[in-house]
Chains A and B, each alone.
Chain A
Amino acid sequence: MSNAPAEEIPTADIDLEAANHVIDKYLTLPGNLMPVLQGIQDEYGYVPKPTIDLVAERLNVYPSQIYGVLTFYAQFHLKPRGRFIIRVCVGTACHVQGAPRIVETFFDKLGIGHAETTPDLRFTFEKVACLGACGMAPLAMVNDSTYGSMTVQKVGDIIADYSQRPMKK
């Protein structure tokens, strides 16, 4: 489970305008909790606590229930995620093609472990079981871009490339 325990959740001031906007969009839709939470995660990259209270108030759902939903689904994140999500496949095909060394190199170069985020909120690193493109093993993804036939050298290039890109979407 990649969700943070309660004490690690930051409570920084969050601008709720985007969340309000998402709620407005789905307000009259029956069963709107999931699309609202997904929309909020799209906006903020994770689901910040103040937005949970806002959703609870506006959709008239208990905050506890929302928390139950958020912790049930692996797709939701309760602590900030990086601008760029690096996923490295450690499935069977990638494993035999040397995925463990790719993972180790990312750990070394980023200074973070599995399911962790760099302090500057630029990168989040995750090991995943299979990305479904075994022919390109070993495989890495950064957000929606795919990098096949990964090598240890390419790790440095990818990090250098994404370190240059703007933090704003």
Chain B
Amino acid sequence: MVNLTIDDKQVTVPKDATIFDAAKAAGIRIPILCHDKKLHPFGGCRMCLVEVEQMKGRQIPACTTPVTEGMIVRTTTDEIIKARKMVLELLLLKHPIDCPVCDAAGDCDLQNLTYEYKVNANRFQDEKFQHKIDYENPLIERDMNRCIHCGKCARICDEIVSFGAYTFMNRGIEAKIGTEFDGPLNCEFCGSCVSVCPVGALVSRPFKFKARWWSLNKVKSVCSYCGTGCQLTLGVKDNKVLTTIYDENQGFHNGQLCTRGRFGYQFVNSDKRLSTPLIRKNGTLQPASWDEALTLVSAKLVEAKNAGGKSVAGLVTPRLTNEELFLIKKLFKDGLGSDSIDHSAGYAHAALTAGAAESFGSAASPSVISDIQNADLLLVVKTDAYETHPVVGFEINLGVKRKEIDLRIISDKRGKLSKLPKAVTYVHKPGQEVALVNALAQVLLADNLQDSTATGVEGFEGLKQQLEAFAPEKIAAACGLDADTIKTLARDYAKAAKALIILPLGLGYPGHGKALAQALANLALLSGKVGKEGCGVLFLGEKNNSQGAADLGIYPTAGGADADAILAGCQSGSIKTLIVAGENPVVSYPDRKRVEAALDKVEFLVVQDLFLTETAAKAHVVLPACSFAEKSGTFTSVGRAVQQVNQAIKPVGEARSDFAILNGLLAGLTGNAPYADAAAVFAEIAATVPAYAGLTIAGLGDTGAILPVTVKPRFVAAETAAVTAESGKFALVTGSALYHCGTMSRFGEGPMHVCPEGYVELGRDDAQALNVKDGDTVAVKSASGELRLKAKVGTRMPQGVVFAPYHFDEASVNSIAVGAPVTWVSISK
């Protein structure tokens, strides 16, 4: 620790702190334009000049000068004020004073500092810049005339996003922030640059001219797309969510968001939202009153309950709040007497609900998100972790670039993570994940690298026996990796003091199920890397509340039917009433034909959703539900973080929250009084779900809480499914497109600009052999169907492997993929 004096205040800070950090710690504000706490110091704007007595009173930038023992710093002498005024005069020389029409007005650091330092006249004169404004994309407008060259956009895009869209180009007075060949912006559109821009050079187009900054009501909440659990601040006016507001002090991610979080909020106030309940009359869905719809639903549910409850089932999205999930579980168990309720766990979350539950003793990740930065080695299964959970991807980027974490990826394709410095991608043949991970575990045993605790864990002998079949030499050919490479990876993993395994989950990843989770758990347990900081296995649940759905038992626990069995039941007629809350099985579950046929047979289908989805279109009653912005409650995200969701706007149209709908139905069926509010339900969750014991909704505050987990380790043999290659055909692997999540992201402007439609991605060699160019339409044919998809040609895919994302209705990939990790397809023009 170093002691220094700033403006006569004694400060003690760590020795790697800068004067700026020390002043901040002492509560002294130093004005600055080019600083963000997530980025490396830059020293570009010269606003943070301070005087240091030991440097003969020279003016030096506080943000790049490290502290030294006994340093005496002055931040507000007359000379400093004069220097800062001049910096502002020079910046205002070129900066257009178009504040009345600038979206940043009110939130502009330059405007605020000009006001604070009373720079009301300029001693200098010059012409303004005449740069062309980039209006080419619908999300980010770039007006380089307003730019003050702080470089934050270029730095965040490099340091955190690792896309590198921006650069300083040219020299001297001609220098500006530009893109490759000074063309229009063409990137992932995460909007990180917009969030850190201190002026209005980069503005969010969806928010442009929507509201003045100071007229917005700011409400803290949690993003409702993927399971990462990013905190965000919604900017609200006139009952509309108009924007998300950057706050560098929010959450583990320091306010960093992806396209979904930043530009994907439009679904909340979308014109396509359902405004009234719909009831099917004479074959068509017609608007009805809530009374009429709920009376009808209640009557059908009472009928089902009286018939014993076995004929009613539920498919629930893990996008609902914990409180809503609790209510629907209770509705089924206590109200209807049915255990047939699932959140597509078997399709998307079996790694948690079956894998982790058996191997670690509870359906939760033993690790938390902060373990990523604390690890020495990261073993990521599939590069898709970046696509499914971009902000987790940013954490990986940061860890690899700043802390030199050794990144190893086992994947069936390359991806953005593969490009990180020194990252090693082990590209294996599709569908071989489990065999490969088993082989890694086998190497640990063969080399005697297992941890001393491993031998005492239940199932050790059985595992040892089972793994004999997975010696690297035996599986190398099938995996497409040579035995020595596998051995090196296993040894490096075992020898790393702290190693974390990351496994993304989702409806697009049928291979990431129970067996893979167990194989990874075995590997972590064998090497003793569970239950320590920077170690373990982190399961990335697909949806915002996937972990909550697992915690609250939204999967068949008492012999009920899972999603697969529910659909079979619908088909066979044993399930007559089906409640679908927020799920869209028609597009997202495997084997579309089968799903559609099953849903068509259901006698009474109730769908609660924001939109008239492909599934809702088949319903007998559709109930308009509320988005996350219209309700309060909690989400439990990746790494077991429970966070509070706050209502930002009143329900849109006649929509009612799932909480209100379920609360009413439950009270009607059980005869009990309805719950007063979400807090009351949360109190009951805290009383009945052990992990939530002792928590209250109010006690979560802004930061939330990390749920405790007790690991009860057990080795379970991970079974491999045989992958039989079909000669002359391509291996189709499915997954998430960048920045899409489920089917809800189709109603967000951001994700739809980055990826507007389904596609099939091929490697260059395959494309050449097929004579297919980027953008051509190709026919993709599997045993179960045929699709016409746009081809995307790139360097990611190995030969013989193609990729297609699942989110889209038109060209819905589940009409050719039926839930196997690999689908064999032929491709023709």
Q: Which residues of A contact B (CB under 8 A)?
A: 1, 3, 5-6, 9, 49, 52, 57, 60, 62-68, 71-72
Contact = CB atoms under 8 A, between A and B. Distances in A.
Given A62-B163, A63-B180, A68 B168 contact: yes
Contact of A62 (B167, B168, B183, B795): B167
A6 B182 contact: yes
Contact of B178 (A60, A64, A66): A64
Given A57-B795, A60-B419, A62-B158, A68 B167 contact: yes
A9 B163 contact: no
Given A62-B180, A65-B158, 7 more contacts: A52-B180, A64-B166, A64-B167, A66-B180, A67-B182, A68-B167, A72-B168
Query: 5 closest Cβ contacts across the A-B interface?
Result: A62-B164, A68-B167, A64-B167, A63-B180, A71-B169
25 contacts: A1-B171, A1-B174, A6-B181, A49-B181, A60-B421, A62-B158, A62-B164, A62-B167, A62-B180, A63-B164, A63-B180, A64-B164, A64-B165, A65-B167, A66-B180, A67-B169, A67-B178, A67-B179, A67-B181, A68-B168, A68-B169, A68-B178, A71-B169, A71-B170, A72-B168
* Listed residue (A5, A66, A68) with the most chain B CB atoms within 10 angstroms of its CB: A68
B180 A67 contact: yes
B795 to A, nearest CB: 7
A125 B171 CA distance: 22
Contacts of B169: 67-68, 71-72
A67 B164 CA distance: 11
Contacts of B166: 64
A65 B174 contact: no
Interface of B: 158, 163-171, 174, 178-183, 419, 421, 795
Contacts of B170: 1, 3, 71-72
Contact of B180 (A5, A60, A64): A64
Contacts of B181: 6, 9, 49, 67
A66 B178 CA distance: 12
Contacts of B168: 68, 72
Contacts of A1: 170-171, 174
Nearest to A3: B170
A52 B182 CA distance: 14
Given A60-B419, A67-B169, A72-B171, A6 B795 contact: no
Contacts of B171: 1, 71-72
B179 to A, nearest CB: 6
* Listed residue (B168, B181, B182) with the most chain A CB atoms within 10 angstroms of its CB: B181
Nearest to B168: A68
Contacts of B165: 62, 64
Contacts of A57: 795
Contacts of A72: 168-171
Nearest to B164: A62
Given A71-B170, A72-B169, A64 B795 contact: no
A14 B351 CA distance: 49
Contacts of A67: 167, 169, 178-182
B399 to A, nearest CB: 18
Contacts of A5: 182
Nearest to A72: B171
B189 to A, nearest CB: 15
B58 to A, nearest CB: 29
A92 B572 CA distance: 96
A62 B419 CA distance: 10
B163 A6 contact: no
A65 B164 contact: yes
Contacts of A62: 158, 163-165, 167, 180
A28 B421 CA distance: 14
A48 to B, nearest CB: 12
Contacts of A3: 170
A56 to B, nearest CB: 8
Contacts of B795: 57
* Listed residue (B170, B182, B795) with the most chain A CB atoms within 10 angstroms of its CB: B182
* Listed residue (B169, B171, B183, B795) with the most chain A CB atoms within 10 angstroms of its CB: B169
Contact of A6 (B164, B174, B183, B419): B183
A71 B179 CA distance: 12
A15 B182 CA distance: 24
A64 B177 CA distance: 10
Contacts of B419: 60
Nearest to A60: B419
A5 B169 CA distance: 12
Nearest to A57: B795
Nearest to B170: A71
Nearest to B154: A64
Nearest to B419: A60
A3 B180 CA distance: 14
Contacts of B158: 62, 65
A37 B166 CA distance: 19
* Listed residue (A3, A5, A49, A71) with the most chain B CB atoms within 10 angstroms of its CB: A71
Contacts of A52: 180
Contacts of B180: 52, 62-64, 66-67
B152 to A, nearest CB: 15
B144 to A, nearest CB: 14
A64 B171 CA distance: 15
Contacts of A49: 181
A62 B420 CA distance: 11
A49 B181 CA distance: 9
